[in-house]
Chains A and B, each alone.
Chain A
Amino acid sequence: MTAVFTGLGVVAPNGLGTEEYWKATCAGEDGIGPVERFDASGYPARTAGEVPGFDAADHLPSRLLPQTDHMTRLALVAADWAIADAGADSPEMGVVTAASGGGFEFGQRELQNLWSKGGEYVSAYQSFAWFYAVNTGQISIRNGLKGPGGVIVADQAGGLDAMAQARRQLRKGGRMMLTGGVDGAICPWGWVAQQAGGRLSTGEYLPFDTRAAGHVSAEGGAMLVMEDAAAARARGAHGYGSLAGYAATFDPKPGLGREPGLRRAIENALADARIEASTVDVVFADAAALPELDAVEADAINAVFGPGGVPVTAPKTMTGRLNAGGASLDVAAALLAMRDGVIPPTTNTEPAPRYRLDLVTTARETPVRTALVLARGHGGFNSAAVVRLDWEEH
């Protein structure tokens, strides 16, 4: 069974819609700016990647507006676009999304109502709107989907883990899956939580740079339709590429001096795809932008590919890190890179020589047939996915 991606829907800080995002990304256009969704002037981190020009009422029925957080609205629209792009849907379709916390902005408003006015002022929709499984549920309901539903919570790694779970459902005989992640928590509650995590930059987001000091938080992500290649071929579907390999590992307990798990995740994903490292044309890095984590990632890539042995890029430097949406957006970027034969750039960063990476800092036109996408989650999650342009059985 080969799992092929047949539909894409992108909502990103540097572009609302797949082609808008991709055009901006190849041109190196940034979507990061001062936080506008709330007054962040009193917080150490004051910049974010916010999706531009999104008015939910333009895209969704009014019945859905009182019951959805901003990030769920973005997810519903990304799902609509992915299904439309696939040119088919099926009531048997299932949904597996990645999430971090659920609807923080909605939850904060209702908790404020609870504390300041009383329980009778809390929306009935709080019962699910702030729940981490909300996007899976709302997408299923909106599209009348009866297939298996699920949600993965593994910070940034979850975006890849969700796709792997979707592939498992296809292997069990599922017809089509909608998968990916759209996330965002740009509100005081979400901000405080992220600030407390200790990984937010108070300035720029500069992975693999000597000035690296954390990341910029962002909202958005991508939803993707995944289906069995034989079924996709039978209906004459356009396929962007396959999910050819995947693996996840967990870091050893800190302080033991053992090697982190990222290299094993890469090697296991390559083995799952049954390819050699030399087959990989580009690596989409996790790009944590903290010196220690950047070193871990560079070491893992160099251990597998040799120093400077593979082009590495982090287009998320243009969007910020999207929490559970980030890896899904990277997979979308990898599929588009293969379609157009171009590696999108890592912007703003001046690559530090000590990492010995071939970091792509201006868009590079080159055939891309195989891409490796890396994603790590706070707390030790490592995931790696191999996507390939061809989607015959492998």
Chain B
Amino acid sequence: MELTLDSLKRILRDGAGADEAVDLDGDILDTEFDELGYDSLALLETVARITREYRIPLDDDAATSAKTPRELLALANAA
């Protein structure tokens, strides 16, 4: 099952909330997670949720290597 941007946004919101100053529904594919208000722990939680829900074996290093939603989606969908 492919991880879509919409699913990623839902997982981010569920697992780590959303910064009030950021519009997640805007064009965020190439916006760095840092700018979106997500720190490394938020990404660890997100990666854990992707692994659980999609049975995609992502390791914790993936969380820190992917800087943007596009990079994380590419990693998840290539795994």
Give complex CA distance A353, B19 in Å: 58
How many Cβ-Cβ contacts under 8 Å join chain A to chain B?
37
Q: Which residue of A61, A120, A123, A127 is within 8 Å of B17 (Cβ)?
A: A61
Q: Which secondary structure dominates chain A's binding surface?
A: helix
Q: Give the Cβ gap from A293 to chain B, nearest Cβ, in Å.
A: 42
| Interfacial chain A residues near B48, Cβ < 8 Å | 120, 123-124
* CB pair B41 A124 closer than 8 Å: yes
Partner of B37 from A63, A65, A120 at Cβ < 8 Å? A63
Q: Return chain B residues, CB-CB under 8 Å to A121.
A: 52
- Shortest CB-to-CB span from B28 to chain A, Å, is 15
Instruction: State the CA gap A61–B16 with chains docked (Å).
Output: 11
A277 at the interface (CB under 8 A from B): no
A43 located at the interface, meaning its Cβ lies under 8 Å from any Cβ of chain B in the complex: no
Q: A125-B45, A127-B41 are in contact. Are A120 and B51 (CB under 8 A)?
A: yes
**Number of A residues with CB within 8 Å of any CB on chain B:** 13
| Docked pose: A67 CA to B14 CA in angstroms | 11
**B44 sits at the interface (CB 8 A):** yes
List of A residues within 8 angstroms of B2 by Cβ: none
Contact of A67 among B13, B16, B51 (CB under 8 A): B16
The answer to whether B45 and A123 have CB atoms under 8 Å apart is: yes
- Cβ-closest chain B residue relative to A123: B45
B 10-43 binary contact with A (CB < 8 Å = 1; else 0): 0001111111100000000000000001000110
A62-B17, A63-B19, A67-B16 in contact; A120/B45 too (CB < 8 A)? no
Cβ contacts under 8 Å, B52 to chain A: 120-121
- B10 → chain A closest CB, angstroms: 13
CA distance A120 to B19 in the complex (A): 25
**Contacting residues, chain B, for A125 (C-beta < 8 A):** 41, 45
Q: Note all chain A residues with C-beta closer than 8 A to B42.
A: 63, 124
- Chain A, range 270-286, C-beta contacts under 8 Å to B: none
Q: Is A64 an interface residue (CB 8 A)?
A: yes
In Å, the complex CA distance between A316 and B31 comes to 51
Do the beta carbons of B18 and A62 come within 8 Å of each other? yes
Please name the residue on chain A nearest to B21 by beta carbon: A61
| Given contact pairs A120-B52, A124-B41, A124-B48, A66 touches B15 in the complex (Cβ within 8 A) | yes
Cα(A66)–Cα(B45), bound, Å: 10
Q: How far is the CA of A127 from the CA of B60 in the complex (A)?
A: 14
Question: Could you tell me the distance between the alpha carbons of A125 and B52 in the complex, rounded to whole angstroms?
Answer: 16
Interface mask (A90-107 → B, CB under 8 Å = 1, otherwise 0): 000000000000000000
Q: Which of A62, A63, A66, A120 has the most CB of B within 10 A?
A: A63
Within 8 Å CB of A64, what residues of B?
17
Looking across the interface, which residue of chain A has its beta carbon closest to that of B43?
A124
Query: Which single member of B14, B20, B44 contacts A124 (CB below 8 Å)?
Result: B44
Complexed CA–CA distance, A77 and B48 (Å): 29
Q: Say how far A52's CB is from chain B's closest CB, in angstroms.
A: 25
Interface centre among B14, B17, B41 (most CB of A within 10 A): B17
Whether the Cβ atoms of B45 and A63 lie closer than 8 Å is no
| Nearest opposing residue in chain B for A61, CB measure | B20
Closest-CB distance, A58 to chain B (whole angstroms) = 13
B21 to chain A, nearest CB (A): 9
B-chain residues with CB within 8 Å of residue A124 when the two chains form the complex: 41-42, 44-45, 48
Chain B residues in 8 Å Cβ range of A123: 15, 45, 48
What 7 pairs between A and B have smallest CB-CB spacing?
Answer: A62-B17, A124-B45, A63-B17, A124-B44, A124-B41, A61-B20, A62-B18
Q: Can you spell out 30 A-B residue pairs with CB atoms less than 8 angstroms apart?
A: A61-B17, A61-B19, A61-B20, A62-B17, A62-B18, A62-B20, A63-B16, A63-B17, A63-B18, A63-B37, A63-B42, A65-B17, A66-B14, A66-B15, A66-B16, A66-B17, A66-B45, A67-B16, A67-B41, A120-B48, A120-B51, A120-B52, A123-B15, A123-B48, A124-B41, A124-B42, A124-B44, A124-B45, A125-B41, A127-B41
Interface positions of A (Cβ within 8 A of B): 61-67, 120-121, 123-125, 127
Known contacts A61-B17, A63-B16, A63-B17; 5 further A-B pairs (Cβ under 8 A): A63-B18, A66-B15, A120-B52, A124-B45, A125-B45
